[in-house]
Amino acid sequence: TNNGRRISQYTCSNYTKVPCGTLCPTQHRINESAVLTLVSDTLRAIAEYSRNDRTEFIHTVQETQVAQQSADISKKRRRLAAAQKRATELEKLICKIYEDNALGKLPDARYRALDAQYAKEQDALEIEIAELGKGCYRL
């Protein structure tokens, strides 16, 4: 506080990670007014740049969008591959627990619990794979 007035501040989030002080050794802060000044100055500079060189600004924005979309697509494709791999693993696990149950190696109660758990995960993966498949190959 400053003469009874509260001064809003932002604190480094890395300092509070457990154990405290491992990522940032000191608890540093910045006043809200400083953040707002930096943001408004940056927005003014961007607006001026867009007015002064409109074609270059448009080109820069388009390049940034293409790069971001490429990164998003590659991230989705990696997640799609991981989800498909896990779906294959789940199918193998379901077959294995079925065989173990049929041979008497796995009690019925445990089989039902594992089967329900695997089926739930498999259903969620199927939905995710369908959504990721649409997103990856649509573009």
Q: Has residue 92 been placed in a domain?
A: yes
22-36, 65-79, 110-124, range with the lowest pLDDT: 22-36
Q: What is the pLDDT of residue 11?
A: 82
Q: State which residues form the domain around 31.
A: 1-52
Domain-located, residue 96:
yes
Res 9 pLDDT > 90: no
- Among 10, 13, 7, 8, CA closest to 29: 10
Residue 19's Cβ-count burial label (10 Å; 0-12, 13-18, 19+) is exposed
Q: Are residues 72 and 41 in the same domain?
A: no
Say if residue 74 is in the same domain as residue 34.
no
137 pLDDT band, cuts 50/70/90, is low
pLDDT mean over 83-105: 96
Does an H or E element contain 11, and which? strand 9-11
> Residues 46, 80: one domain?
no
Domain match, 13 and 46 both:
yes
Which comes out higher in pLDDT, residue 4 or 33? 33
Per cent of the chain over pLDDT 70 is: 94
Let me know if residue 73 belongs to a domain. yes
Average pLDDT, the chain: 90
Is 106 inside a domain boundary? yes
Q: Are residues 82 and 129 in the same domain?
A: yes
pLDDT average, residue stretch 9-38? 82
60 falls within a domain: no
| pLDDT band per the 50, 70, 90 thresholds, residue 39 | very high
Please give the DSSP secondary-structure letter assigned to residue 82.
H
Structural domain includes residue 59:
no
The number of folded domains in the chain is 2
pTM (predicted TM-score): 0.64
Which of 10, 54, 64 shows the shortest CA–CA distance to 33?
A: 10
pLDDT tens, position by position, 69-93: 999 999 999 999 999 999 999 999 9
